[in-house]
């Protein structure tokens, strides 16, 4: 039997029950979620789903990330609500691929962990199952494990196994709808230059990869959450008389409106602006503080600083890594007025941490 899998939370208890109810079936878990956005979220869900399959002794296969094909399939349905026609197309897309995969493997039964999700419609899924039976000659096993306390048992199983719990359905259009009232949807923000931002999907992926290492080493652990003040830089622009000035803006830099600033005081390759608590730092100072060899600002974008390095520089210059003063790296200081625009968001957030025992 091919079990199409969408995420670890839905897959875990679902697969456990399948093994109990179909003891003579060889079950293959087929993770196929081309609707998931961004790709790092796809890899994170796949990682944790594979983990639970291995715990249950079920073979695991990760399907292709056919994101562009999925976008074409749902074109025109971008504004449909969840459980609407876009979801139906999405189910078609995934279950047809599972049916094709079953035919390749010589299997004649297909099911899906989408049946376990309280956010999905059984009627939609069963209707699609009838279509793939006619089209591919495979039987769709429409079990309902949500009944008789199944949903509660699913959540207990997920908690017991410390599974990754995503906070949106997965697709680009769904997250827009689910989080439309949020000031910022940080799942859709990746920085340039690339580094791992706090509470980002990339940080979560790294976190759960580290969790696997602990399990491989038989180290006991507990996943808990902590609250913290998060930050996203959306825009940074510096000009002088309409000439763009090459620069790099450090993490936690914040001003509430555009400012015209000149360097008023200089010491040890650090320049202090005459307003908005702006601090300028020469590139050479960065090289000295971090043992780098950057020749120009472009080099930082090619070989980016780590977030820990940015916070270290901020702490050495401002005496606290949580200062919100704009810290701007320049190649050289000039006796001009800098027109500075920084658009950034600072907001309460939470993230997971590992407690080792």
pLDDT, one tens digit per residue, over 230-274 is 999 999 999 999 999 999 999 999 999 999 999 999 999 999 999
| DSSP line for 82-137 | TTSHHHHHHHHHHHHHHHHHHHHHT--EEEEGGGG-TTS-HHHHHHHHHHHHHHH-
pLDDT, one tens digit per residue, over 69-115 is 999 999 999 998 877 888 888 888 999 999 999 999 999 999 999 99
Q: Is 40 helix (H, G, I), strand (E, B) or coil?
A: helix
| pLDDT band at residue 188 using 50, 70 and 90 as cut-offs | confident
For the ranges 121-125, 192-196, 301-305, 345-349, the lowest mean pLDDT is seen at 192-196
Cis peptide before 38 (omega within 30 of 0): yes
Q: In what order do the strands lie in the sheet with 259-261?
A: 243-244, 221-240, 338-356, 259-261
- Global pTM value: 0.90
Angle (nearest 5°) at CA 6 between 4 and 10: 100
Domains of the chain: 2-181 (3.40.50.620), 229-348 (no CATH)
pLDDT, one tens digit per residue, over 289-305 is 999 999 999 999 999 99
Residue 191 pLDDT more than 80? no
């Amino acid at each position: 039997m091919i079990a199409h899998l969408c995420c670890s939370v839905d897959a875990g208890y679902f697969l456990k029950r399948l093994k109990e109810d179909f003891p003579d079936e060889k079950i293959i878990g087929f993770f196929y979620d081309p609707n998931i956005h961004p790709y790092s979220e796809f890899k994170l869900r796949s990682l944790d789903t594979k983990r639970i399959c291995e715990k249950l002794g079920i073979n695991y296969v990760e399907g292709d990330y056919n994101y562009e094909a999925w976008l074409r399939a749902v074109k025109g349905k971008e504004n449909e609500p969840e459980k609407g026609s876009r979801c139906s197309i999405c189910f078609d897309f995934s279950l047809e691929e599972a049916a094709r995969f079953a035919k390749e493997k010589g299997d004649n039964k297909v099911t899906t962990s989408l049946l376990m999700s309280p956010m999905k419609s059984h009627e939609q899924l069963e209707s699609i199952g009838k279509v793939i039976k006619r089209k591919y000659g495979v039987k769709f096993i429409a079990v309902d494990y949500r009944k008789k306390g199944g949903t509660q048992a699913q959540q207990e199983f997920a908690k017991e196994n410390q599974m990754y719990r995503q906070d949106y359905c997965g697709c680009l259009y769904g997250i827009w709808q689910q989080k439309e009232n949020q000031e910022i949807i940080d799942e859709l923000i990746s920085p340039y230059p690339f580094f791992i931002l706090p509470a980002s999907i990339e940080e979560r992926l790294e976190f759960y990869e580290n969790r696997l290492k602990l399990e491989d080493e038989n180290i006991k652990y507990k996943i808990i959450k902590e609250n913290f003040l998060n930050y996203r830089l959306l825009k940074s622009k510096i000009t002088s008389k309409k000439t763009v000035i090459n620069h790099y803006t450090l993490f936690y830099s914040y001003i509430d409106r555009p400012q015209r600033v000149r360097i008023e005081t200089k010491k040890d390759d650090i320049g202090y602006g005459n307003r908005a608590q702006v601090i300028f730092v020469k590139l050479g100072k960065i090289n000295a503080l971090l043992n780098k060899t950057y020749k120009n600002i472009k080099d930082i974008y090619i070989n980016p600083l780590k977030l820990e390095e940015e916070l270290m520089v901020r702490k050495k210059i401002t005496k606290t890594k949580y200062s919100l003063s704009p810290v701007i790296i320049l190649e050289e200081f000039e006796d001009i007025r800098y027109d500075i625009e920084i658009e950034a968001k600072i907001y309460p957030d939470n993230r997971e941490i590992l407690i080792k025992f």
